[in-house]
Amino acid sequence: MEASEITWTLLSLFFIGLAYFSAFAFVAGLLWKLAVYLRTPMPYPHSLTPGAKTEGQAILRVLGDVTIFPNLFKADKWLWAGAWVFHAALASVLFRHLRYFTYPVPGLVLYMEPVALFFGSLFGAAILFLFWRRLGLPRTLYISNIPDYFVLVLLGLVAATGLAVSYWLHVNIVDVKGFIVGLMTFHPVEIPRHPLFLLHLFFVLVLMLYFPFSKLLHVGGILFSPSRHEPFTVQGNGSRSPDFMKR
């Protein structure tokens, strides 16, 4: 066997192993975080006033926090704009990536093809804006630490390599889909022989490893924050509600 063939075989084994390990760490990390959230004691009500009066209103408030970031809009409109564009573009990019995981590909995913470059570029621009904000504003520069910069650099590398393999140094889509479907069906095949794609895949897998144990999991904090999902429990006359007295 030639040296190049041995190299590609070893690379295939490395990426296959890293892919399964990253997927396991991602799922296990999310489950561990979920268990931590669920086991955190809440002996007293944490609802804020004015707040939701019913469970339904509390659910709507959480959905609003997750989708439109109203509190961030009130605090910092420029940060709100950058964060909202970042999350919207990321959701669009992830949705388009379903083409690599599904067969047949959903029609809505195919319809996104003409605007895929726009959302990919928007994703990269939002990352640059958030990185500039970390460095450009004294108060954010003061509170920022290495993990804050690391995750932005990692996301930027994912975006840059993804755009490059999609619109510059093209990778064979059939090879990519065959590799990913092989991983999902536990019948792995050789990796696509495209160095830039492998670099993109490496950054994505590192991001999957890092995600459950980083600040990127802030969405979990929103969903389980008692000040957001609990309805107001103090009655108008100043007495505690029956639900509180039972605790």
- Residue 13 belongs to some domain of the structure: no
CATH number at residue 87: 1.20.950.20
Residue 82 contacts residue 124 (beta carbons within 8 Å): no
- What pLDDT, on a 0 to 100 scale, did the predictor assign at position 39? 81
The answer to whether position 14 is within a domain reads: no
Range of the domain at 229: 46-241
* Residue 69 domain flag: yes
Q: Model confidence over 207-243: pLDDT tens digits?
A: 999 999 888 887 766 666 666 656 556 544 444 444 5
157-192 per-position pLDDT tens digit: 999 999 999 888 888 888 999 999 999 999 999 999
User: What are residue 163's phi and psi, to 5 degrees?
Assistant: -65, -40
* Reported pTM: 0.82
Q: Using only C-alpha atoms, what is the Rg of the chain? A: 22
**8 in a domain, yes or no?**
no
DSSP state of 186: T
Q: Flag whether 28 is in a domain.
A: no
The contacts of residue 96 (CB under 8 Å, 6+ apart) are 109, 112, 113, 116, 119
ω into residue 45 within 30 of 0, thus cis? no
| Residue 16 domain-assigned (yes or no) | no
pLDDT, tens only, 100-123 = 888 888 888 888 888 888 999 999
Q: Does residue 24 sit within a domain? A: no
Task: Domain count for the chain, please give it.
Answer: 1
In a domain, 3, yes or no: no
Residue 59's contacts (CB-CB under 8 Å, 6 or more residues apart) are: 229
Closest by CA to 119, choosing from 150, 87, 142, is 87
